[in-house]
Structure 1
């Protein structure tokens, strides 16, 4: 009799058991007072597999449990053969929980909102962008020319479409052809938030990057690495690998630098923003690690906001003749993470210094109050 009862229960529970293998539920919890709009959330792929082992990577959808609409997603590899994370872009109101589920189905096309590439046709540039802003940095081919520059460059835009390829093809990207332009000057500075060793109170610039590696390329996050040859940083031999990623909807890139250097266990480094000769508005919040700059207006070209957020303790923030600088410290062969980026008033979203500094403060608070993800 017991055997008959057990067999009967097994067959009764079998549909539920099979169903649990063909769906996964996700909850994204926002415990803060911050509205989270267009947030790109990473969900560990192994965790998803543990709840949905039969998932078909080419035939599944992520559904909002309330609206029943699809949520755009990306499979993040981080340069590895296997999937590392499921990336989704969501809005989560303050003090609420967003419920989603994954099931079999044909996903809708996802709009490309981030893009990055090596640009050999323009002296080894490396450029990256999202639906808000664009950036570039410089490679070996531009060294020892009158165009050489050390820092990050900003390409402002007022479209959510990708513009990098179009602008390089046109060649005259210093002119606004309707969607923005490059009027940002970098020169021999850190530009829009690059980092360099700071030895004996002097910035020790590296040469430009020598190797690159694209790890992921959209549609919601693009990530790449830049590798720098060994250089002499005030008597210290230093090598660097910079891993940069940009999420859809964000004005700021995430920068993870790993410095390898001889003898010393730690080394001071500086993040810098070039300062213009004319009067602009500067924000220095050492305790929060926030540097902000609302540049002087460039006549008909508009106004650029630039900002950096350090996630490690700041030793000092100050302004010299050329740059706005924040000093922190790195350990040998250990990654250091910070965020840096820009905005443009002609894009129509952030139009003055108050809004730009509010954005930087809000971004900093988001980093300290991450969304909580659970899968079942």
Structure 2
């Protein structure tokens, strides 16, 4: 073989090898698709778990229109609802979707460019200007409200977090405010939980010498994300006096579909505060639960009337923040310190016997215990 022909053949072989190598590399990295692996390495079944993928992890997809992303359950080969999260910012921060995760199991999902389905909302919140600036929010299982400054000095004055019991998966806030008789059960649920001048269903405020210091009800709000899977918002309070110091407080609250509990972050401009998170014991005839091993306090008692069934409320605080758990005349409290960013992060929420999800106090307490254990042993998520 002549040298010239040999060199041509060698060049052709090298080009072919380069093409094969490039093709294999493309298949390996799967350009245009992000694959998410989710593993539950515990013995606990986990339902309606929210998977959150940082926006930076999607860079393989190139330039992205946030309204054109599709998440697919690869085992079922089926598109599932997703939501781009902004956290109140202009640019996206992450994308979320949900899955059930059986004990000791794993699943895979893909994220690609595409036109997503118009998913039905399972989480929603708004300010109710028609009712003293309540801020009300809900998901497919539960609803809550916080009271606005407009309520100060009026009949029905209250401070903490209110719980609205539901037995429907539809969103009810707009309908209930329009009907204005939500203290009566019309079939979808009822507001039968009494808050008054207490922490209610799981608020948290500074405590000084066993006295809880309440600010004026929230003054302004900002919705950070609005469904279909997550509602999140921020409430701002006027400065108030705590142990001789003026303190500024902001609450950030988020609720995901399928959860009985909100995630709450209280932020302060002072670091040397002690914070009490807790639930109201009402007349004292309910069933209390203080579980230091699982970082929660809970209460189970009748609603405002016997026909309204039993309501459970509870608070979970990460162990590293807890200083003490105690009972007072009005509350079950978890006393905590702030983290290095002057925040207290915790979870609170409620359940209802007539929802069909909680037949008694044991069922409610078990839910909180399992929720706490899931926080300690989260799903393992990897992105490829």
TM-score tier by shorter-chain length is over 0.9
**What does the per-residue CA deviation read over 1:1-59, in whole Å, with 9 as the maximum and x for residues that have no partner?**
5543343334445556666221121101111111111111111111122x322555333
Match of 1:308 among 293, 297, 315: 315
Equivalent residue, structure 2, for 1:275: 281
Asked if the contact 1:210/1:229 (under 8 Å) is kept, the reply is yes
CA-atom RMSD in angstroms: 1.8
Equivalent residue, structure 2, for 1:133: 142
Superposed, 1:17-96 pairs within 5 Å as 20-49=30-59, 51-53=60-62, 55-96=64-105
> More displaced, 318-327 or 158-167?
318-327
Asked if the contact 2:321/2:339 (under 8 Å) is kept, the reply is no
Equivalent residue, structure 1, for 2:4: none
Equivalent residue, structure 1, for 2:118: 109
Equivalent residue, structure 2, for 1:266: 272
Residue 156 of structure 1 deviates from its aligned partner by: 0.7
The question of 1:166 aligning with 2:172 is answered no
Asked if the contact 2:298/2:312 (under 8 Å) is kept, the reply is yes
Equivalent residue, structure 1, for 2:374: 366
Mapped partners of 2:173, 2:24: distance in 1: 50
Structure 1's unaligned 5+ residue stretches are: none
Mapped partners of 1:358, 1:319: distance in 2: 20
Asked if the contact 2:50/2:97 (under 8 Å) is kept, the reply is yes
Number of equivalences: 372
Asked if the contact 2:278/2:314 (under 8 Å) is kept, the reply is no
Match of 1:289 among 281, 288, 295: 295
* Secondary structure in structure 2 of the residue aligned to 1:266: coil
Larger radius of gyration: 2
**What does the per-residue CA deviation read over 1:303-332, in whole Å, with 9 as the maximum and x for residues that have no partner?**
110010011432222222222212111257
- For normalisation by structure 2, the TM-score amounts to 0.92
Structure 2's unaligned 5+ residue stretches are: 1-6
> More displaced, 291-300 or 138-147?
291-300
> More displaced, 131-140 or 89-98?
89-98
Equivalent residue, structure 1, for 2:265: 256
